[in-house]
Structure 1
């Protein structure tokens, strides 16, 4: 009886351990190399890497979490504007019916040709831009990220927000206050690929 119960306990512990390990390995946090690797694995396993898309949008679980919850692709097919999204919460690729027509075929790129490695590079540069300007903030993470094919060329443009916590009390001239000590900084890349801060550092 005791041996049977012990076996059951060990089996449950092993099962829970496997679940936790599995969940950890697929977690996507964009400001880490592991997160970018897991993003690429997900794109490969859930989407056709040869598919031509106009943009890739990445959404967080919520504003308080650096974890990604949804990956969305946008494309035009059969003269219709279409979008598919993969939900990490449901572990399912959703393909809603397209509802809007497109009178032209916009520029696009294959998913495999999107430079996802640039996400981490841009993040590090964005944090450096903030910390070189002010030492008021810490605990940075990406909140939302989009890679879009430029409508006039074959280049891609990146846009994203960086959330940060203010480490001291008092008013800050930098960033946009969200709640309490949390602030937002917004960034884009231009046609040449140069990163610029569009909101949060241009106070003077």
Structure 2
């Protein structure tokens, strides 16, 4: 079964059509059904800003950046950033909360506390996985429990690794009981830290 994934071109260097075709064909040969998105306004966007600009619409994706272009231009094996997205809401935090009773607090104070706890959760997680960042998607009416905090993690991978990661993320989402993609990411990140050929850990400046 082939895996569908969006491929974003975010490099500040313009990818010629022939270069894009070469990259897309290589990914397609590795079992991916691509939706290439080439928009000049994406140039230089970090992962969280790209997610925001796309209205938080993807849960995993591929990014071809300046490094990808330079590798292709010099006939090296190209690498891409593989993004993995997850989110939580204050209500999710409330459901897993096991601390002192908060029922006596006003809803605004309780919400502020839950938001703070949620941010702390992702901040601590970012210390464990530095190649990650988070961003709030606020509802139309501010300070509501429906606000979502999105976390984006990324790894740099070659064609084989990128295809493998996309298939793994898709499989995690398609299970009857959805598997946490962060568990899948942790496996790839551990392999990357060992210098595994298909994955290379990289810090992206936000």
What TM-score comes out, normalization by structure 2 length?
0.24
User: Over alpha carbons, which structure has the higher Rg?
Assistant: 1
Structure number having the greater strand percentage:
1
Greater fraction of residues in helix: 2
TM-score if structure 1 supplies the norm length?
A: 0.24
Larger RCO (CA under 8 A, 6+ residues apart): 2
